[in-house]
Amino acid sequence: MRLLKELDRKDPVEVGRELHDFASELFPICRSITGNGIRQTLTRIRQRIPMEILEVPTGTRVFDWTIPKEWNIRDAYIKDATGNRLVDFKQCNLHVLNYSVPLQATMALKQLKPHLHTLPEYPDWIPYRTSYYKEDWGFCLSHNQMLALRDSDYEVCIDSTLTDGHLTYGECYLPGSLTDEVLISTHVCHPSLANDNLSGLAVATALAELLTEHDLRYSYRFLFIPGTIGAITWLARNRETVERVRHGLVLTGIGDAGGLHYKKSRRGNAEIDQAVAHVLRHHCEGSAILEFSPYGYDERQYCSPGFNLPVGCLMRSVWGTFPEYHTSADNLDFIKPHQLADSLRVCASVIDVLENNLRYQNLNPFCEPQLGKRNLYRSRGGDAIAMETNARLWVLNLSDGEHSLLDIAERSGLPFSTISQAAEVLREAGLLSLVAEDVPEKAQPNSNFDAGMSLAQSSRGPRRST
């Protein structure tokens, strides 16, 4: 399977536009860590990919946490004495402190002010604030809006409910030849914020859509979950599934104009860490690799010491380092169709590496096989060895049953796709065979994998990859 090749058959402008359109469709919905906003969002995703929507009741213990009450909101406003809505949830859902308890009162500005949140340094922007685990109420508004409030009485209404209900999340499972899994996780709990995280949600959905059209080596599990409590809930309910996760990515904030950043898993040297670093180095100028830290998005839970899963986090500008983060300026203009499409390409490239990162055994290891007589040596004159030939020599030299194709790509400095294509040509020419452990458990029709008896099989017993 070559996912990137498939994606590149499509017009990149069109791909970017479709991703942006999906983010735009979901933008107005008021989401939170529970409630109807997240249900509506998951229902729209389910129209595009096969997905189960799961509900976990309030009060359920999940490790050290408890599923909170479910929050829903219909309306919220601050009205002046003449009935004008000065702050209106219906204009922008960031205006209400997310998870605010219901309230209906008339109060003086002095009483109201401790419950108002603004950003004095960006006086036209509305901040995004939450209070999930401490019952509170509040409004978020632009600093200029607050300065315009006169010393008077105001009618304050938050038409919300905070009652026993459910936490809702979505799970899309795409079976492959292996039961080993690739986990793609994205948070879907923020209201009208585009980069954080409609960008991750749109790209993850498109990636799953793309994968449904292919025969897969790995099985894939996409999680669309509320941040923190969603990941904790899923981990608590899936202790057995977790053992099958071989690689994972958290996708967040991947639509802004900044360069790509990859935060490594806690392990730091997992195959996913190598794969993403390789793809970024070869395909993305201005990208950077970050070491693991225990602060960030849901990789914190997947990489907690009890699980220590090989899950990293792919983003563009790093959360908290740009002023638009968690404000109304993280809007649909802040995410770019081109960047969304580019992020999807990077994800497809990473999956291509994971799917094709196999190990081979050179069947002719005593001196170089004569490539010329097999029509595999294409010198283009001069002293330079063509990259194609160079790649074949690297693959032959390092295919000792131990080095993976990604190891060979890294050592040679050549792109993975070039190394992988070289391996395919050499295998077709009978010079390589796949090592036994990398042969899929059950062959799929149209599979590229050589399931035949190999030298490695005859000399070594099967070993599960870790």
Contact at 8 Å (CB) between 357 and 275?
yes
| Contact status: 299 vs Zn ion (CB under 5 A) | no
User: Looking at beta carbons, which residue is closest to Zn ion?
Assistant: 196
Q: Are 18 and 206 in contact (CB under 8 A)?
A: yes
Cβ closest to Zn ion, residue 196 vs residue 342: 196
Distance separating alpha carbons of residues 250 and 270, to the nearest angstrom: 15
**Neighbour order of strands in the sheet with 166-174:** 52-57, 166-174, 219-225, 181-187, 245-251, 311-315, 261-263, 288-290
113, 97, 207: which is closest to 152 by C-alpha?
113
Residue among 182 and 204 whose Cβ is closer to Zn ion = 204
Residue 112: CB partners within 8 Å, gap ≥ 6? 78, 149, 154, 156
435's tokens: 């090592």
Q: Specify the pairing of strand 181-187 against strand 245-251.
A: parallel
> Rounded to the nearest whole angstrom, what is the least distance from the CB of residue 230 to Zn ion in the complex?
13
Nearer to Zn ion, 100 or 327 (CB): 327
User: Which tokens belong to 48?
Assistant: 């595009």
d(CA 125, CA 114): 19
Three-class DSSP category at 442: coil
Q: What is the CA angle 198-255-132, rounded to 5?
A: 40
Binding mask 189-228 for Zn ion (x = CB under 5 A): -------x--------------------------------
Shortest distance, position 294 Cβ to Zn ion, whole Å:
17
Residue 326 CB, shortest distance to Zn ion, in Å, is: 6
**Which one of the spans 158-166, 188-196, 340-348, 371-379 is the region binding Zn ion (CB under 5 A)?**
188-196
Element (H, E) at 299: helix 299-302
Q: In the complex with Zn ion, which residue's Cβ is closer, 190 or 264?
A: 190
Q: 119 vs 426, which CB is nearer to Zn ion?
A: 119
Q: Cβ of residue 210: shortest distance to Zn ion, in angstroms?
A: 26
Whose Cβ is closer to Zn ion: residue 196's or residue 324's? 196
Residue 48 CB, nearest approach to Zn ion (Å)? 23
# residues near Zn ion by CB under 5 A: 1
Q: How far is the CB of 258 from Zn ion (least distance, A)?
A: 16
- Cβ-based nearer residue to Zn ion, 186 or 357: 186
Q: How far is CA 149 from CA 10, 57, 153, 227, in A?
A: 52, 41, 10, 34
CA distance 27 to 36: 14
Count of beta carbons in the 10 Å neighbourhood of residue 63: 12
Distance in Å, CB of 300 to Zn ion, minimum: 13
Rounded least distance, CB 190 to Zn ion, Å:
6
By rule CB under 5 A, what string of x and - marks binding of each residue 317-356 to Zn ion?
----------------------------------------
Joined together, the tokens standing for residue 327 give: 């404000």
**Nearer Cβ to Zn ion (255/369):** 255
Residue 196: CB minimum distance to Zn ion, A: 4
CA distance 258 to 199: 13
What the block records as the tokens of 385 is: 């060895």
Give the x-and-dash track for 115-154 against Zn ion (CB under 5 A): ----------------------------------------
Nearer to Zn ion, 190 or 266 (CB): 190
Chain residues in the site for Zn ion (CB under 5 A): 196
